[in-house]
Amino acid sequence: MHELSLAERLWSTTKEVAKTRNLKTVSALKISIGECLAVSPESLVYCWEAITKGTLAEGSKLEFEVHGPSGVCKDCGKETPLEKPLYSCKACGSSRVDFKTGQEFFLEYIEGE
């Protein structure tokens, strides 16, 4: 639901990178996204297209790599993928877990020239 603010932050980072690396155009961005984040890639693309219209990143593609949830169990100490729907430890079933992946939103790389 907050894709617009994320697209704006993505755009400000893209502008910085384009400036320091002298890019005239940006054609693609690779994003790592956790599937537990309340963010829809489809909506993000929509916001990205609106924000970058008429800029050096107009028409650029967003590529997503979606990461499922994993975490470290506070009860058995194992690091496992987390089981839905309760996001519990796969090894012992405990709900007491510290998330390692599934909530991230990283800009991995930018392609341009």
Partner 1 sequence: MTKIKVIKNILSANKNTADKNRRFFREKGILAVNLMGSPGSGKTSLLEKTFEAGAGDLRFAVIEGDLATSHDAKRIKRFGVPVVQINTHGGCHLDANMVGRALKELPLAHTDILVIENVGNLVCPADFDLGESKRIVVLSVTEGEDKIEKYPFMFKFAGCCILNKIDLLPYCNVSDERIKRTALKINKDLDFFKVSCKTGEGINRWLEWLRAKL
Question: Cβ(62)–Cβ(39) under 8 Å?
Answer: no
Q: By rule CB under 8 A, what count of residues binds partner 1?
A: 32
Select the residue interacting with partner 1 from 49, 57, 87, 100 (CB under 8 A): 87
Residue 5's nearest CA partner among 110, 90, 105, 109 is: 105
Q: In a 3-state reduction of DSSP, which class is residue 111?
A: strand
24 binds partner 1 (CB under 8 A): no
Nearest approach, Cβ of 99 to partner 1 (angstroms)?
9
Instruction: Name beta bridge partners: 73.
Output: 97
Site residues (vs partner 1, CB under 8 A): 1-2, 5-6, 9-10, 13, 17, 21, 23, 27, 36-39, 85-87, 94-96, 103-113
